[in-house]
Amino acid sequence: FTWTLYTWKKLVHLDLKGAPPRVEYLHRLIELFSELGVDGLLVEYEDVFPYDGELKLLQATAQPAYSRDEVLSMQEFARSKGMEVIPLVQTFGHMEFVLKHRSMWHLREVAHCVGTLNPHREEGVKVVMEMLRQVVELHPGLSTLHIGADEVYMLGEGEESKLWLASPGRTVEQLFLSHVTKVARAVKEAWPHMTIIMWDDMMRGMSLDTLKASGLVGLVQPMLWDYTPNLDVSKTVSLLEKYCSAGMADLWAASSFKGSTSVYTCVTSTQRHLDNHLQWLKVAASLSPAVNMKGIAITGWQRYDHLSVLCELIPVAIPSLAVCLQTLLHGQFSAEAQSLTPTCVADTVFPGRRLAELIVELNALLNSEDIRFFENSMFVRGWFSPYQRQRKTVTPLITMQIHNQASLFLATLQQKVEAVREEMAKLYPDSTVQEWIEEHVSPVTAPLQRITEDVAACLKEMVP
């Protein structure tokens, strides 16, 4: 079965909707991916794509979008390393980066759901097609396009959808299919030779008959995603077989090397992602010959969605990616793959390794009980409670010890944070550095800072 999986294309997903790497670092990563045996990149630009004209407002403001030249040079460099580039453009759900803009509010399915497009407005389809047109135009010779379409939350809840669904025999499934079919057909009309990939999750519950009659047969290639370490093999196999029986024999898998543990994970758990890939190997071994698996996208989410916090940065996840790729290439977790696990990170030179080491060290500090729960320590709770602080009735001797300890923790953290900041700024824009520190460090340092200030204020009242 190793051989069958060996024929799968291996794509690495670059999620640029958070922490978009500086161009030089992006090129170093692409070089590394090619050394690890990657066949292509699945690139999700979102707001760092240089949208123009009426779509210029979609460009990020926190950090500059990539320039047209940078997007072209990234593709050229990937091609020179034997890798194809497949852009992923969301066309239905997860359109937060479009629908958050006031001038686009009226295109939401429901007002309070920023991600889902109203499928009844012709203007919405026009916006989607203009996004696709600009992306395709900036990818010369493009042959494959991913149109997203996962997690279309609240579909059917809008007023126009309720009216549409009031007609007998109409379902939310049909509503979903009609929009995706409309988009896919428009893509084929504009670019007849384009292969179209889409996420599969909205189709999982559909019957064989619904899928057969969907209009998507022969139009799209579903990509079934499952990032869990305990992926249900038989369920996944039967889903893939169902799509195949419906006439969609060309299929893709999607696994994960980072960004799927929790929404705010800071350091990647390699074991979790290795287990996910071992389960996918079992799926590959169990499929009937009728199923034509085109490849697997190894996803690396940087945010769960446009408005959520950052997941792990790429450098801390490179050992995980290496292990996952080696596992797919060898059909098992071999000794060769093992030599690339995080325990050996110190011996493996990879781009961003220094930052990865610093993040792991800082993360350990931030999560040490002494620091994280300093406010709950016996001395603070016993001699420097909110009640005592407010009334400035404190024991100077113990309070000074508390101050010294808090100051020491702050100094230790500050030193490590500065090292992280300096290293991170080499690889990522300043806005990413700022966001990462405010998310991970500030919540831990702020209470310590407050204690030192409160101690100083109280001591003024108590000590001559």
Catalytic (active site) residue 312: no
- The total number of residues shown for the chain amounts to 464
**Three-state helix/strand/coil letters over the chain:** CHHHHHCCEEEEEEECCCCCCCHHHHHHHHHHHHHCCCCEEEEECHHHCCCCHHHHHHCCCCCCCCCHHHHHHHHHHHHHCCCEEEEECCCCCCCHHHHCCHHHHHHECCCCCCCCECCCCHHHHHHHHHHHHHHHHCCCCCCEEECCCCCCCCCCCCHHHHHHHCCCCCCHHHHHHHHHHHHHHHHHHHCCCCEEEEECHHHCCCCHHHHHCCCCCCCCEEEEECCCCCCCHHHHHHHHHHHHHCCCCEEEEEEEEECCCCCCCCCCCHHHHHHHHHHHHHHHHHCCCCCEEEEEEEEECCCCCCCCCCCCCHHHHHHHHHHHHHHHHHCCCCHHHHCCCHHHHHHCCCCCHHHHHHHHHHHHHHCCHHHHCHHHCHHHHHHCCHHHHHHCCCCHHHHHHHHHHHHHHHHHHHHHHHHHHHHHHHHCCHHHHHHHHHHHCHHHHHHHHHHHHHHHHHHHHHCC
Sheet with 195-199, strands from edge to edge, namely 84-87, 40-44, 9-15, 292-300, 250-258, 221-225, 195-199, 144-146
Residue type, 361: E
Strand partners, 199: 223
Looking at 31, 70, 130, 151, which residue is catalytic?
151
Instruction: Say how far apart CA 247 and CA 245 lie, in whole Å.
Output: 5
Active site residue ranges: 151
